[in-house]
Amino acid sequence: MSIRARNNLPRGFTLLEVMIATMIVSLLATVLFRFVSTTLQAMRFTTELQDERESVQAVVRFLQTQLADLPAHQNGVLLGNPLKLHDLSSDEIIWRAHAGQGVLTTAAPGEFRVTMTVQPVESTSSELELGLRREPITPEARADVDFFARGSGTNKYNWVPLIRPMAAFEVRYFDPRLNAWLDRWTDQNARPQLIRVRLWKNADDPPVEAVLPVPSSQMKQQ
């Protein structure tokens, strides 16, 4: 066979070229995997963050609805106490409500004292959750013993968890007579004009803050 004929034969890949091509494909696959993995993690984190924010905003909307539904001409329907757990705020805001959205059930008769606060998930747990403590304050409500499973005697109550975990819950009350924010509300005959709530999902995170009006405060002061 002549030299020209040998030069016209199809040329195969050398081992070095195969190794280089394999390395390039491996690098591209690694880059693609890292890109897809990072993108999926970012999407999951964003979704979880949005879900957390939505759950906190839902609590704020619920509280806003309860403040708007307070009866105008009844004393002692809104109170508040400053408390702490693990050196963080676990304040209580307390209102009176009937069956329905206020106690998150239509099956409980009578009138209830509803407390929004933070408490341990279990008695021996360090994890906290935000929820509602529902206590009967009328005879027909107290008669429903099965509904109120926790507590004993006249202190029976039912706990409704709302958000877990919740590191801290702070409530402040604006008194227009003093032009100041107070950390508690004990006045049975008046109501704060505004309520400011701050919620921390984690202690190191910035809080979600909302300032809510109390519509019936103006009617009570007239």
> Quick one: pLDDT at residue 222?
46
Which tens digits make up the pLDDT trace of 159-206? 889 988 999 999 999 999 999 999 999 999 999 999 999 999 888 889
Residue 98 has pLDDT above 80, yes or no: no
Instruction: Confirm if 134 and 55 have CB atoms less than 8 A apart.
Output: no
DSSP string spanning 115-161?
EEEEEESSTT-S-EEEEEEEEE-SHHHHT-TTT--BS-GGG-BEEEE
Instruction: Please report, rounded to a whole number, the percentage of residues in the chain having pLDDT higher than 70.
Output: 70
For residues 7 and 192, the model is more confident at 192
> Quick one: pLDDT at residue 50?
57
Rounded Cα distance between 201 and 198, Å, is 10
Asked if the peptide bond before residue 165 counts as cis, ω within 30 degrees of 0, the response is yes
Rounded Cα distance between 58 and 56, Å, is 5
